[in-house]
A and B are shown apart, each in its own frame.
Chain A
Amino acid sequence: MTELVTGLDALAAKVTDGAKIALPPDYSGCANALWRAVIRRGVRDLHLVGVPVFGYHGDLLIGAGCVNVAETSAVTLGEHGLAPRFTAAVKAGSITVKDATCPAIHAGLQAAERGAPFSVMRGLIGSDILARRDDWKVIDNPFAENDPVVAIPALTPDLAVFHAAKADRHGNVWIGVRRELMVMAHAARDTLVTVEEIVDGDLMADPATKAGTIPGLYVTAMAEAREGSWPQGLPATDLVPDHAHLARYAQMAKTEEGFAAYLAEVVTGREAAE
């Protein structure tokens, strides 16, 4: 049964030190209110997995000292430029980056969701991405002659964490077409979700919503968080990215002092409101 929790702190308590966590990109559903609560808890040593990239929330976690591994195809603030805390941490050598390419992340998660040891994919051969990944192997296509392919081992996150528009009381979460969230939930051992609204009724009752719904089977715990993706938007809702805020973040986070001021104002300072 999906646990319905009240308040983000109770959900944040389930994000434990050292967890490997699948994160969606900024244009999908980011549980930013939850991440602020997690930072306030002072969690450490997270291994972030961008599915297939991450942005603002990962940069915030890195800047707050919560992360030691970033496994991702990119870290970006989109039009707001480089993710400043990620960039600074890599240059200082304070986090380890496992660089990937987008379909390799998807391939690893898909192996995990089907319980297979690995997936194979084209591409990658001759790149330094592959050269620097000891955990990926070039193998011969057993069905052809002289045809090297790359084996990507199953990627099983401890947690998938994201924000969605709505869920019902059975723990069924509607994600619409953002189906990378479905793959994340299938692949991860546990899934934590925040939603704009927990609705009455059963999202599985109508095929129109059922098609875009993650069954409660995969959802460990969830909580309501209004505007829980702020300062990012949320697909299929009226919530759009707060570009003025994101531009301000990109500017402040360029220095450690500026980032500290941002944390004090936006993360620790929002405790009462969240």
Chain B
Amino acid sequence: MSASPSSQSDVQLEEILIHTIAGMLDGLRHVAVGASSPVPGAAALLARARSGERTRVSVLGSEDHNFFTDGGKELFDCAGQGRIDAFFLSGAQIDGNANINLVSIGDPDRPKARFPGSFGSGYLYYVVPRVILFRLEHTKRTLVEQVDFISAPGFSEPNVYRPGGPFAMITDRCLFDVDKERRRFVLKSVHPGETVESIAENTGFDYDVPDAVPTTPLPDAETLALMRGRIAGEIAEIYPSFAKRVFGLEKAA
């Protein structure tokens, strides 16, 4: 890899996120992508392209990048058997214990805000070893001390079957690692333009801050070219608006 680093000015935030997530997927056997996940979807497709097609990727809602033949249940059956290494979950709220809320704010029977629902999180968070949390609005409103509704808990009692759980959390401001022993987030890197202080100002829960927190690396020119070419075309099948907004791509008929 002799590609030179790209200049910061022409790299978009989404491209940094895609690159960062893809780095957590390299070498895995099978990565699955769920609903409303254009950035993780692009990251998974990037990891697959870089693996020489050794990493399998299944994208929910895709006809071109989904090899399941047994209907909607197969993703979950596959995950339950341990055949899926990584998955992505978000939350209207995510708290410092890595609990996620995809349902509502306030009383669930008469909520102040209602979101689509928990999707597969009430299962996949428990059984997929490497669940990468993503929340592309990093504020005290979204990253809270305690969620209003637990779609799926970050951690479980010792007698609950739990081979899976949180591996990392990426936001539009930073990347957190997860300390599974201490059940806490640890600030790993801040995206360009952010600081340790700006993360603290915008985060509603406690987390650990190491002495040195680097800036999240930018994708190199080769990675950017792959993302803006092949990956943009692939993700446009499922997320045409995203592909148009980020990569300026219209879906081919």
Contacts and interface: CB of A to CB of B under 8 A. Distances in A.
Contact of B117 (A75, A148, A181): A75
Contact of A72 (B110, B111, B117): B117
Given A124-B123, A128-B151, A106 B161 contact: no
A53 B117 contact: yes
Interface in B32-78: 35-36, 38, 60-61, 63, 68-73, 76-77
A76 interface: yes
B61 A27 contact: yes
A91 B109 CA distance: 8
Contact of A130 (B111, B117, B122): B122
A142 interface: no
Contacts of B84: none
Among the interface residues A110, A128, A180, which one has the most CB atoms of the partner chain B within 10 A? A128
Given A91-B111, A182-B71, A103 B76 contact: yes
Interface string A71-82: 011111011001
B157 A129 contact: no
Contacts of A53: 35, 116-117, 119
Contacts of A103: 73, 76-77, 80, 120, 123
A134 B247 CA distance: 47
Interface string B150-165: 1111001101110000
Interface residues of B, number: 52
B139 interface: no
Contacts of B104: 90
A216 interface: no
A207 to B, nearest CB: 15
Interface in B100-158: 102-104, 108-127, 149-153, 156-157
Contacts of B72: 25, 28, 51-52, 102, 106, 179-180
B108 A132 contact: yes
B242 interface: yes
Contact of B103 (A99, A130, A236): A99
B161 A73 contact: no
B120 A101 contact: yes
Nearest to B126: A123
A213 B63 CA distance: 19
A147 interface: yes
B110 A91 contact: yes
A177 B68 contact: yes
A183 B71 contact: yes
Contacts, number: 157
Contacts of A97: 108
B108 to A, nearest CB: 7
B35 A148 contact: no
Contacts of B192: none
A93 B138 CA distance: 30
A128 B35 CA distance: 21
Nearest to A125: B160
Interface in A134-186: 146-149, 177-183
Given A27-B61, A79-B242, A121-B123, A129 B73 contact: no
Contact of B121 (A27, A101, A126, A180): A101
Among the interface residues B60, B76, B103, B157, which one has the most CB atoms of the partner chain A within 10 A? B76
A76 B122 contact: no
A16 to B, nearest CB: 26
A87 B151 CA distance: 17
A74 B123 CA distance: 14
A76 B73 contact: no
Nearest to B103: A99
Contacts of A127: 118, 122, 150-153
7 contacts: A28-B72, A76-B116, A93-B110, A101-B121, A102-B72, A103-B76, A123-B125
Given A25-B72, A90-B104, A101-B121, 12 more contacts: A52-B119, A52-B120, A74-B118, A74-B119, A79-B239, A82-B116, A91-B112, A103-B80, A104-B123, A126-B157, A127-B118, A148-B160
Interface of A: 25, 27-28, 51-53, 72-76, 78-79, 82-83, 86-87, 90-91, 93, 97, 99-104, 106, 110, 121-130, 132, 146-149, 177-183, 235-236, 243
The 8 closest A-B pairs by CB, nearest first: A101-B122, A179-B71, A74-B117, A123-B123, A103-B76, A180-B72, A106-B73, A180-B71
